[in-house]
Amino acid sequence: MSMPIAQALHAIVGEIGLLSGEDVSARSCDPFRNVPPRGGLIVRPASTAELSAVMALCSARGQAVVAHGGRTGVSGGAYAGESEIVVSLERMRAVLEISPEGPLAVVEAGASVEALQQAAAAQGLFYPVDLGSKGSATIGGTIATNAGGNRVLRWGMTRQNLLGVEAVLADGTVVSSMNRLLKNNMGYALKDILCGSEGTLGIITRAVLRLVPQPSSQDVAFVSVTDHAALVALLARARRLPTLSAFEVMWPDYYDLVAASDTGRRPVPPGTGPCVLVESMGYHPESDRRQFEEFLFDAGENGLIADAVLAESGKQVAELWRVREAAEVIVRAMSPFVSFDISLGVADIEPFLPRVRDALLQRFGILRTATFGHLGDNNIHIAAYVGPDTAALESEVEAVVFGVLRGYDGAITAEHGIGQHKRVFLPAHKHTGEMEMMRRLRDALDPDRLLNRDVLF
Amino acid sequence: MSMPIAQALHAIVGEIGLLSGEDVSARSCDPFRNVPPRGGLIVRPASTAELSAVMALCSARGQAVVAHGGRTGVSGGAYAGESEIVVSLERMRAVLEISPEGPLAVVEAGASVEALQQAAAAQGLFYPVDLGSKGSATIGGTIATNAGGNRVLRWGMTRQNLLGVEAVLADGTVVSSMNRLLKNNMGYALKDILCGSEGTLGIITRAVLRLVPQPSSQDVAFVSVTDHAALVALLARARRLPTLSAFEVMWPDYYDLVAASDTGRRPVPPGTGPCVLVESMGYHPESDRRQFEEFLFDAGENGLIADAVLAESGKQVAELWRVREAAEVIVRAMSPFVSFDISLGVADIEPFLPRVRDALLQRFGILRTATFGHLGDNNIHIAAYVGPDTAALESEVEAVVFGVLRGYDGAITAEHGIGQHKRVFLPAHKHTGEMEMMRRLRDALDPDRLLNRDVLF
């Protein structure tokens, strides 16, 4: 007879590598709600070899696992059921190398995004994937979910910054694809399929990430525009700035709340049209500034801008960004609400927004929304309140929004991922051939569905 | 009894869709050598539905196929054996849509790269993947091989410009993943794994490609540097130009040949160090030029540049590019030679080049080389002549070069792909886990190895 799994895991990872009891129940799989792992065990390998042995054991026993990074995901990708053991990468958190040549970084999966950013900054380098949760979010988690953030427009999502990756498959096979080269056409893009697979194809253990030189210029303007046409025209002009790093739109339902709050965030008078935070980051402070000012001037001359503020100091830059990152104002003013992370064509946003609001209002009789997003990436976020029972009505609210979105070929998640929460909605938004191909790939790598079994599909 | 396969294919694609006899033997699978398809049949579906029916038939019959785009690949990916039928996408060549919103293009796989570029240019837009063979190379072929080219530094390889894709799997399953959104995190990156799979996972039928606004500035300088350290320092400075679009290095073995030719290509005096063509493309002619001149001036002040020429007109830009694109001079001066398309770390190039030359000279007793490449992407090309029997010695020459390259963790192909020609060398340059994962993915999608069976691995 084989020994109990806890004992067998202990033999691989030792005392420090295995948590149980209160050490498990004190954790949450959700950043906002208290949702402890229900399986009672957390295994914490110290190396790829240990994780490989853990997965070989789990595979032999048919033991399902859920991978944990920083547990900052909002789609339920880290939820662990009674029959699942948690595999946490928290003991593999080294920033192994920052190389000015490349430039690139080699990092263990459990390192936080912030730890990488800081290690890079110490050498004048910059890791451009930036998230509000960067202090906790891990490199492995951001790779597994292809995390986005505020500067996707310039530097792409995590996948675009990923050069190489190492992962452990469900049966313990180690796939080391630690490429450091910008161009390498030797076979399938394994890193790209592991990235964004939400832990269902393999568990990321290490990665090679592309860095860029630390920008030396940051120009930020906060402007209001009259209508959607002006917004689209402004975006088209902004795209000609090679240093454009953010184009963050706040619709009136969002900005009115923030501007009316007692937090002093009201750079321009609220109007009928959306506001935009436009940012440029580059390496030539003088000429970057000149180009940025020319862009604003031309946009003004062409009647695209109603009001504008141009930051004159680092302090003002931070203040303008605080208007865009006013989550706590929304939470205070609107809770409970359902959060959306959708994307759709820029031209479709104008008809979509009133249509989705009408649909919600018709269905629930009461509605408050706050709408903002990374317009340059097609990504908009909507917080929707449909009354005091909003939390209980979450999936009904989602069904209404996603129903309208289908008519526009939009994506039900632009950056947060499907996780467990949106799984039920996925097939309606994918081609049947896509679902079939995804199923075949997953079956090929994890035939027993041991990895994040309830995630994605 | 089932009807002969030619007849069954005819029933699907009609008279115009099926070639045999001289129509087949008059074609070549290789852009430089005459290598006709040996199977005697070329099937030319007019639509995704026809291709799906073709593959369902082939799958039922266990009939292997080889996919043909423009047949410009130099790695033997289009070679077709006696038991294989060619599937050509040549009747699916429509540019279906150029959308200023995105901006993006929707294209059938058989359209040429040049056709897409021209259709985009007609609307003030630009498709940045650019190859010498663009007149023949197809969008499908460039996606299947993740083609690179001269401007990867700025806009990436084909994969970075691919938003969505449609493909037909070996059993005829249509996977339509025609995403148009910059951010879409709904499931696995199917487009990214199909891209670069060299036709082994599916046959590309349509794609959505990201476009950019047509650049309005192009600044080009041709400079010589004193040594490798200056070259690396110059690259680091050039990377701070957000508009940097090419950093093309020509080592003395290349530049001396071109400068000594009777073609008038000698912008700077040959010296002991490499030459570089640096290019910037942007949207602000005046300030782009100013930044470019500042970059050159600072590099000169810091002693990084020996000689320099700055193009003052479009004509001069073209003339300087002709120095870098002097393939015919190399062909005339050095044939027969073996061509390499390798990549390795920028810092490794300095020790690598003399070491590989020593190894070749020691092995063959005679050696001439021409070395150039896209240094900013780690990609260098070497043409190696080891005597009149060079062609016959090709795989021995490759074995020597790849043997040295292994010591530097380099890639045996940066952009051309593995095809049939480099297949035997692949396993030695990949981790066993990578080969295993690739095998599982291929088996999952094409268990009978019907697609490009002798390609890749």
Predicted pLDDT of residue B187: 97
Angle at the Cα of B29 from the Cα atoms of B26 and B33, rounded to 5 degrees: 85
> A24: closest CA among A75, A57, A66?
A66
> B439 and chain A: CB distance < 8 Å anywhere?
no
The pLDDT tens digits of the residues spanning A45-80 come to 999 999 999 999 999 999 999 999 999 999 999 999
**Beta B41-43 vs B84-88: how paired, if at all?**
parallel
Residue A252 · residue A225 · CB < 8 Å:
no
Residue B433 · residue A175 · CB < 8 Å:
yes
- CATH classification number, A217-325, choose in 3.10.20.600, 3.40.1350.10, 3.30.70.2190, 3.50.30.30: 3.30.70.2190
- CATH classification number, B5-88, choose in 3.30.43.10, 3.40.50.10190, 3.20.20.70, 3.40.720.10: 3.30.43.10
Q: Which CATH architecture has domain B335-433?
A: 2-Layer Sandwich (3.30)
Q: Which amino acid is it at B296?
A: L
Equal CATH topology for A5-88 and A335-419: no
Mean per-residue pLDDT, A215-236: 95
Q: How far off is chain B from A305, nearest CA to CA, in Å?
A: 21
DSSP classification of residue B4: P
> A419 and chain B: CB distance < 8 Å anywhere?
no
Which positions in chain A touch B213 (Cβ < 8 Å)?
239-240
> B230: closest CA among B289, B305, B329, B281?
B305
H/E segment holding residue A434: helix A432-445
Which positions in chain B touch A292 (Cβ < 8 Å)?
none
Q: Give DSSP secondary structure letters for B227-257.
A: SHHHHHHHHHHHTT-TTEEEEEEE-HHHHHH
Which positions in chain A touch B187 (Cβ < 8 Å)?
196, 418, 426, 430, 434, 438, 456-457
Predicted pLDDT of residue B311: 98
Predicted pLDDT of residue A242: 86
Q: Which amino acid is it at B150?
A: N
What are A191's two structure tokens? 């890193």
Maximum distance among all alpha carbons in chain B?
Answer: 81
What are B356's two structure tokens? 């590989």
Predicted pLDDT of residue A66: 98
Q: Mean pLDDT, chain A, as a whole number? A: 96
Assigned CATH for B95-213: 3.30.465.10
Q: Flag whether the pTM goes above 0.90.
A: yes
Q: Residue A149 pLDDT more than 90?
A: no
Mean per-residue pLDDT, A291-316: 96
> B74 and chain A: CB distance < 8 Å anywhere?
no
Which positions in chain B touch A414 (Cβ < 8 Å)?
181, 183-185
pLDDT band at A1 (very low <50, low <70, confident <90, very high): low
Q: Do B345 and A409 touch (CB under 8 A)?
A: no
Cα B178 from chain centroid? Answer: 23
Predicted pLDDT of residue B101: 85
Q: Which amino acid is it at B126?
A: F
Fold designation for A335-419: Alpha-Beta Plaits (3.30.70)
Residue A86 · residue A28 · CB < 8 Å:
no
Q: Do A186 and B146 touch (CB under 8 A)?
A: no
Neighbour-count burial of A110, counting CB atoms closer than 10 A to its CB (0-12 exposed, 13-18 middle, 19+ buried): buried
The pLDDT tens digits of the residues spanning A341-393 come to 999 999 899 999 999 999 999 999 999 999 999 988 899 999 999 999 999 99
pLDDT band at A109 (very low <50, low <70, confident <90, very high): very high
Neighbour-count burial of B189, counting CB atoms closer than 10 A to its CB (0-12 exposed, 13-18 middle, 19+ buried): buried
End-to-end CA distance of chain A: 35
> A243 and chain B: CB distance < 8 Å anywhere?
yes
> Nearest Cβ partner of A196 from B175, B189, B236?
B189
CA distance A442 to A447: 7
Residue A186 · residue A218 · CB < 8 Å:
no
DSSP classification of residue B8: H
Domain residue extents for chain A: 5-88, 95-213, 217-325, 335-419
Residue A88 · residue A68 · CB < 8 Å:
yes
Residue A359 · residue A376 · CB < 8 Å:
no
Q: What is the ipTM of this complex?
A: 0.96
Predicted pLDDT of residue A281: 96
Q: Residue A101 pLDDT more than 90?
A: no
Q: Do A243 and B242 touch (CB under 8 A)?
A: yes
Residue B434 · residue A187 · CB < 8 Å:
yes
End-to-end CA distance of chain B: 35
Neighbour-count burial of B83, counting CB atoms closer than 10 A to its CB (0-12 exposed, 13-18 middle, 19+ buried): exposed
What string of pLDDT tens digits covers the 457 residues of chain B?
578 999 999 999 999 999 999 999 999 999 989 999 999 999 999 999 999 999 999 999 999 999 999 999 999 999 999 999 999 999 999 999 999 988 999 999 999 999 999 999 999 999 999 988 999 999 999 999 999 988 899 999 999 999 999 999 999 999 999 999 999 999 999 999 999 999 999 999 999 999 999 999 999 999 999 999 999 999 989 988 989 999 999 999 999 999 999 999 999 999 889 999 999 999 989 989 999 999 999 999 999 999 999 999 999 999 999 999 998 999 999 999 999 999 999 989 999 999 999 999 999 999 999 999 998 889 999 999 999 999 999 999 999 999 999 999 999 999 999 999 999 999 999 999 999 999 999 999 999 999 999 999 9
CA distance A31 to A71: 6
Predicted pLDDT of residue A12: 98
> Nearest Cβ partner of A444 from B148, B213, B440?
B440
Neighbour-count burial of B389, counting CB atoms closer than 10 A to its CB (0-12 exposed, 13-18 middle, 19+ buried): exposed
Q: Which amino acid is it at B331?
A: V
Fold designation for B217-326: Alpha-Beta Plaits (3.30.70)
A161, A183, A247: best to mutate for the B interface, most B CBs within 10 A: A183
Which positions in chain A touch B145 (Cβ < 8 Å)?
185
Q: Which residue in the block uniquely carries the two structure tokens 């030459």?
A: B275
B192, B200, B437: best to mutate for the A interface, most A CBs within 10 A: B437
Maximum distance among all alpha carbons in chain A?
Answer: 81
Q: Number of A:B CB contacts under 8 A?
A: 247
Closest residue in B to A188 (Cα–Cα): B197
Nearby residues of B384 by Cβ (< 8 Å), 6 or more positions away = B337, B338, B340, B360, B367, B368, B369, B390, B397, B401
Which positions in chain B touch A169 (Cβ < 8 Å)?
433, 437
Which positions in chain B touch A282 (Cβ < 8 Å)?
242
Backbone phi and psi for residue A117, each to the nearest 5 degrees, phi listed first: -60, -40
Which positions in chain A touch B242 (Cβ < 8 Å)?
242-243, 282-283
Q: Do A184 and B411 touch (CB under 8 A)?
A: yes
* Contact map slice: A 112-151 vs B, CB within 8 A: 145-146, 148
Angle at the Cα of A223 from the Cα atoms of A217 and A229, rounded to 5 degrees: 120
Q: Residue A182 pLDDT more than 70?
A: yes
Predicted pLDDT of residue B132: 86
Q: How far off is chain A from B88, nearest CA to CA, in Å?
A: 22
Nearby residues of A12 by Cβ (< 8 Å), 6 or more positions away = A45, A50, A53, A54, A57
Residue A426 · residue B187 · CB < 8 Å:
yes
Predicted pLDDT of residue B1: 57
CA distance A401 to A357: 9
Number of CB atoms found within 10 A of residue B90's CB = 16
